[in-house]
Chain A
Amino acid sequence: MSRICLLWALPLMVFAHPALEIQISDLSRAINLSPDASGLYLKRGLLHQRHGYRDLAKQDFEAARALVDSADVQVALGNLYLAEGDPGRASVYFAEAIKLSSKSSAAWLGQAKTATALGADELALQSYQTYFQVADNPQPGYLAAAVRDIAPHNRVAAITLVNDALERLGPVPTLIKLAETLKQAR
């Protein structure tokens, strides 16, 4: 009886933070039980990627896409290739994600990053600006990273972006610092 009662008590004890390995192993079991659940592959792929297992992550994302294609899966693949230093390939996935869902802020953010990496400054700027428009909570940290990314290629575009961000989010210190740096570099 005590074993059974332990099960009853579980959600009360639980559980704050199993390690990534535990969550991966858990999702693997769930996938064995529900092999057609696209979302489970996507979740496991994200955990694999976080853990540095990029090949496994890729397999999971492709498996998820084969079951149900979605902007989320395309974004996951795009981010994976971007992290691998292949922005050309990543850009294909982000473009597809935008086709599937033009409101996907993650897709616009990804497209902006790949465009920056590929030196397509106009597209990068437009994509960041669209991210601004569609994101419910545009994050100052992402925008700061974007400005840092874009500045070496196109200072004017970076200034435009940081000014847009300052107008929308207010005088956020990290953005002010970037604006001043860009100004000094003039």
Chain B
Amino acid sequence: MKKFLMYISLLSLIGCDQGISGEQTASDAPAAKGELAPGSASALTDSRPNIERLFLQQLSASSVIIKWRGAADKVRLGKEAGRLDTVFPAEMEDGHSIAHVSGLEADTDYFYTLGNATDVTEVYRFRTAPETGSSPKDGNVRLWLLGDSGTATEFDRDGNPAHPGEAKAVLEGFMRYNSRLVGDQHIDGVLLLGDNAYPAGTDAEWQGAFFDLYPKVIRSSVVMPTIGNHEMGVAPINICLFADTLACDLLGEIEYPLGGLSMSSDPASYDGDGDGPDPEGLPYLNIFTLPTRGELGGAASGTEQYYSSDFGNVHIISLDSQLSNSDDDLRGAMQDWLTADLEASAEQDWIIVIFHHPPYSKGENHDSDLEQREIDMRITFAPVFEQYGVDAVYSGHAHSYERSWYLRGHYGLSDSFDVEKHAAIDSDGNAAFGGPDAPYNEDNRLVYTVAGSSGKFNEWHPCEPDQLINGQAFGCTMDNWLLHPAHRTFETLASDYRKHGIARLGSVVIDATATQLTSRFIDDKGAVLDTFVIQK
């Protein structure tokens, strides 16, 4: 730590204006549709308890877990905003209040407040899941996916936001898109693809990068996360290995604890600040309350590190590509669980899988030919996905957008990819795009999407020779950046388009009806840059 302070001091002496400034503040994100504003007829009192971090977990057809922090000890709930006559007391668990709400009706809007003996919050609203296997009344399950969105807590050495307003812009772009939709705009679930609290996934970073940014969405939609490398704390590294700088010349080495570098498979090894394992353990596991016993469908995982949940006719699986994937015994158990989970969910219309490390990617610094976690995920799980009918896989990690062809049978390195052999082919003999005009519709094929630009995006800046270490690029883009042949091609001529990917801020939205799954990449302006459709 002493050396780090020397480093900071030295940099302060040197001074450097790299033009990053601005402020990322708590969000004034648009409200989810149907939520009542303060002061409405149903706002019961002017005295509000101080509540933060209000969000939903394990939302099913008959129950939900409501979590928060602050001066409230119960939930009042009802089907009418003015009649909240059912009370559920909260317990304390890992620093959060948690209320287990049960006895609900499927696919039904509920209103709720939090309160204590004297105060009560404004009225919020959520909608229960449809019965397993059924589509909701509005015909559509809508899931919003955020990859690597946690940049609101990433700062430069001057204390300025490293990516000012970028995560918020993605939120606003998506809300702009969503508000244009005709009919129901309800978001059923928010799927987090990892790295949602930079740089180390501390409790405070989760607050600043996630809970402060999306409060209105996550108190009406269920949150389903996965563990990214930046959820797993820091590890020390000499940053002079990567750059020939004056500061390095002066100091020799600059040891610095950086987020995202943990190699451990043990959540107890979590180190948030570089001084050794934190006694509180992994914040991610303290914050989220995830199903471990198959409570929401599928099979019991026995661990919160990977889990699954039905939501109506959609089965959602979250794998752990960070911890469990780093140990042969744990990965094997996860594979056994996945197989059983998929067998138990075979009747569902759609199966969606999320995990952080993309099995197919040529993102900056994240090459699925080189990173062991990406290779292990591809080799171990891609055959299982195909065999058991997974429809779509979503990852983050690389700060760009890549979306695969309709794949089957490719588990090797990128240079072994053969379009004719591994991708679905259209009537012209080319790889099929799966757009709305010609949806995908085959069994045992699936689409892999990399969507890690919900908080920052990479730009083209070619590597200098000394930025390549053992063939891996650090802090620069290699010639093969966004050129993985398993991903669809783009013809668009723009500076942030490459042949097989887009480097632009954005997020993904999935709409799943009984017969059609549509996946769209929405940029920070609300424009749709890519769409694929799977029909059954």
Contacts and interface: CB of A to CB of B under 8 A. Distances in A.
A140 B475 contact: no
A21 to B, nearest CB: 7
Nearest to B344: A173
Nearest to A3: B245
Interface in A38-72: 39-40, 43, 47, 50
Contact of A11 (B14, B199, B252, B333): B199
Contact of A4 (B14, B305, B332): B14
Chain A contact-residue range equals 35 or more
Interface stretch (B203-211, B230-238, B493-501): B230-238
B474 A15 contact: yes
A60 to B, nearest CB: 15
A29 B16 contact: no
B255 A12 contact: no
Contacts of B258: 11, 14-15
Interface string B230-265: 000001111101111111100011011010110100
B236 A26 contact: yes
B18 A26 contact: no
Interface in B303-347: 303-305, 324, 327, 329-334, 336-337, 339-341
Interface string B1-39: 001000000010010101000000000000000000000
B295 to A, nearest CB: 9
Interface string B373-384: 100000000000
Contacts of A171: 293-294, 299-300
B302 interface: yes
Interface stretch (B154-162, B480-488, B514-522): B154-162
Contacts of A136: 267-268, 281
B16 A1 contact: yes
Interface in A8-36: 8-23, 25-27, 29-30, 33
A30 B236 contact: yes
Contacts, number: 196
A144 B329 CA distance: 8
A12 B154 contact: yes
A170 B302 contact: yes
Interface string B494-536: 0000000000000000000000000000000000000000000
A22 B397 contact: no
A20 B121 CA distance: 51
B257 to A, nearest CB: 10
A33 B255 contact: yes
A33 B244 contact: no
Interface of B: 3, 11, 14, 16, 18, 154, 156-158, 162, 199, 229, 235-239, 241-248, 252-253, 255-256, 258, 260-261, 263, 266-268, 276, 281, 285, 292-294, 299-305, 324, 327, 329-334, 336-337, 339-341, 365-366, 371, 373, 397, 469-470, 472, 474-476
8 contacts: A11-B162, A11-B199, A25-B238, A33-B252, A43-B236, A141-B329, A169-B303, A173-B341
Interface of A: 1, 3-23, 25-27, 29-30, 33, 39-40, 43, 47, 50, 105-106, 136-137, 139-142, 144-145, 165, 169-175, 177
Q: Which 9 A-B pairs have the closest CB atoms?
A: A141-B333, A169-B302, A173-B340, A13-B475, A170-B293, A141-B330, A170-B300, A172-B302, A174-B336
